[in-house]
Chains A and B, each alone.
Chain A
Amino acid sequence: MKRVLGLLGLGAVALTLQGAVAAFLPARFCPDLSFLLVVALGLCWRSAVGGVCVSGAIGFVTDLLSGSLLGQHALLRLAAHALARLGNRHLSLRGMLPQAIFVAVLTCANAFAMALITSFFSPGSAVAGIAVRELLPQALANALLAPLVIALTARTVARLGDEDGGQRVLPLSPRGRIA
């Protein structure tokens, strides 16, 4: 519970900071801190239930402070968290470069999913036309900041009591092979 509350607080800080920084930086170059946090939680927090709950909560608060539909970011943050968890199991994401590339790809997938959902619910909107020149700087900004956010999140998770914070999850199956 302490960890969940602590990470929710971290999410609130990320959102507030993002809202303030976005006022001074062009939106396309502004890293999506809450998205990065959710991905980082998927990479370095063992608790699946806690990760899903915190990601969903961060998504819902993002929806409140954004022009999106209520639940849109929540759904996508859940998906991003799940993909990060999946990626952590099947890919080697130890170094800064793999983490940056992984986050850049996830950012693009997130943007397309966002466009798809918005187009579905608001057919007249122009969200489907998210331009590449808008998406690429955003993916780059997220990728550049990803290793730092992941390291900070891992440290926070460890400090809040998770012994394996920052360690890759390698659950062993009863037969002895790596799951």
Chain B
Amino acid sequence: MGEFRSRIAFSLLIAALVAVATISMVVDRRSRLTGGNLLPGWTRIVLDAAVPLQKMVALPFDVARDTWTRYVALVDVADQNQALRSQLAELREDNLQLREALVASGRLERIAEMRDDFDVPMRPAELVGVDVSPWFRSVLLDRGQTDGVLSGMPVISEDGLVGLVTATSGRAAKSMTVLDRQSAVDATVQRSRSRGIVRGRGSDGIVFEFVARGADVAVGDLVITSGLGGVYPKGLRIGRVTAVSDPGAKLVQEASLEPAVDFGRLEQVFVILRRGPTMELLYRAEDGDAAPARPGT
């Protein structure tokens, strides 16, 4: 009788855990679609605790890498290189914005407007950990709500678009990168203005999909955010076309892209402290802001 009871109790425990997991998934999915703040408070504590832990565990790796880069490989050159890269990235960004404005309208006034528009506050953040699941591509950042980082804010690096903040706690944020299979970004080819969707493919990089058959896409073309989805600002570099597939009988074609950002070496990013219009609408009623954002644009 006792064994029977304990079996029943065990079955009930399993059923309860499965039910909790399933309900959590449904609620989480709903919060992603509506932008509601439905994540329980304890999740923020876990996220906050993860940052110092990840930093601590990664410390030996970081020290080894820094030692090699700064002292063994090239003394001082690394610092100079870093400064020059930052400068180059700023100039590239300026150049890109100017070209965008010129292509879009041809009016110089637009350039000034665009510069103003792009001149939004950014918060530098350090990448302290990557996704613990091999099937997803999120990263953990060491900035959270106390630094003004909220769900739905775009994340960039000096090379281009990194992703989108999907959940925040007081001192940490989780960001889904463009490599994630759930990510979709409305994009355009800078040269020809052909539009499509950039989707993540995990380890296989990113793909430019749903490009109209016959659209002008060539190897080497730069693909940038179109800004039409209302999630990301216009003109952020996403990647460069490495191959264009033959559409065959299909109405759309797709192209493989090499991401502009080297995610394997990503250490520091910038969170744009302004949400796009779509994200603003999605999260407008939200106070605590801990719910993930809708992945697509």
Contact = CB atoms under 8 A, between A and B. Distances in A.
Interface residues of A, number: 56
A168 B10 CA distance: 20
Given A75-B18, A78-B14, A67 B129 contact: no
A114 interface: yes
A17 interface: yes
A124 B46 contact: no
Contact of A30 (B20, B61, B134, B202): B134
Nearest to A15: B132
B29 A122 contact: yes
A55 to B, nearest CB: 9
B108 interface: no
Contact of B29 (A24, A63, A121): A121
B231 to A, nearest CB: 15
A63 B22 CA distance: 13
B259 interface: no
B17 interface: yes
A115 B199 CA distance: 16
B69 to A, nearest CB: 14
Contact of A48 (B10, B29, B204): B10
A61 B46 contact: yes
Most chain A C-beta atoms within 10 Å of own C-beta, residue among B17, B28, B29: B17
A118 B32 CA distance: 13
B252 interface: no
Nearest to A59: B21
B183 to A, nearest CB: 8
Contact of B136 (A23, A68, A124): A68
Given A23-B58, A124-B296, A71 B182 contact: no
Interface residues of B, number: 53
A22 B132 contact: yes
A70 B203 contact: no
B239 to A, nearest CB: 16
A114 B204 CA distance: 18
A125 interface: yes
Interface string B16-57: 011011111101110010000001000100110010011001
A52 B13 contact: yes
B134 A138 contact: yes
Interface in B169-187: 174, 176, 180-182, 184
A53 to B, nearest CB: 8
B235 interface: no
A30 to B, nearest CB: 6
Given A27-B137, A65-B50, A22 B130 contact: yes
A49 B16 CA distance: 12
Given A16-B54, A71-B24, A75-B18, A62 B203 contact: no
Interface of A: 12, 15-20, 22-24, 26-28, 30, 32, 34, 48-49, 52-53, 56, 59-75, 78, 82, 111, 114-115, 117-118, 121-122, 124-127, 129-131, 134, 138
What are the 9 tightest A-B residue pairs by CB atom distance, in nearest-first order?
Answer: A71-B24, A67-B136, A67-B138, A19-B129, A75-B21, A71-B21, A66-B133, A20-B57, A70-B28
Given A16-B53, A32-B134, A127-B135, 17 more contacts: A19-B54, A19-B130, A20-B129, A22-B130, A22-B134, A27-B137, A56-B17, A59-B21, A67-B182, A70-B28, A74-B24, A75-B21, A75-B22, A121-B29, A124-B184, A126-B182, A134-B203
7 contacts: A49-B13, A67-B137, A70-B39, A73-B133, A122-B182, A126-B182, A134-B202
Interface of B: 10, 13-14, 17-18, 20-25, 27-29, 32, 39, 43, 46-47, 50, 53-54, 57-58, 61, 127, 129-138, 140, 166, 174, 176, 180-182, 184, 199-204, 264, 295-296
